[in-house]
Amino acid sequence: MAKSKPRQPAPTDKKTDAAKRSPDEAQLRRLLAIELDELRAELREAIEALRLRLEGQIAQIQETLAMPEPSADAVDRDARLVELSLAVTTLRDLKVKPEKGRCRDLKQIEQALDAIRDQMSGW
């Protein structure tokens, strides 16, 4: 018995099949526009959450500063003076350009607030 060749599917027009299966450009544009709208909403939410968190850290530091000074020995007082001086220097050294809307500016602010909060944690 002779071996038969494997059956080949009937030739089809690949462009026609692909066009039937894939969405058209207009549909993809609409889908992309919807996704971008959703991303815009998520961006606003993320920015608002970051703003609230950083403002909360600032408020926490300000509350610590508003507390009356504990009656402690001179060593504790000297340490607090050094920490306060470092905190002022940290904030003055920030090179933030809010008009540019740079992520690194937000990161610098966050790092500065974290450092100050850590310095004041023992108060």
Are the beta carbons of 58 and 91 closer than 8 angstroms?
no
pTM of the model: 0.71
5-35 b/e (C-beta count within 10 Å ≥ 16 → b):
eeeeeeeeeeeeeeeeeeeeeeeeeeeeeee
The arithmetic mean of pLDDT across residues 97-110, rounded, is 94
pLDDT at 96 over 70: yes
pLDDT, tens digit (0-9, with 9 covering 90-100), for 27-61: 999 999 999 999 999 999 999 999 999 999 999 99
Q: Give the other-Cβ count within 10 Å of 90's Cβ.
A: 16
Mean of all residue pLDDT scores within the chain: 87
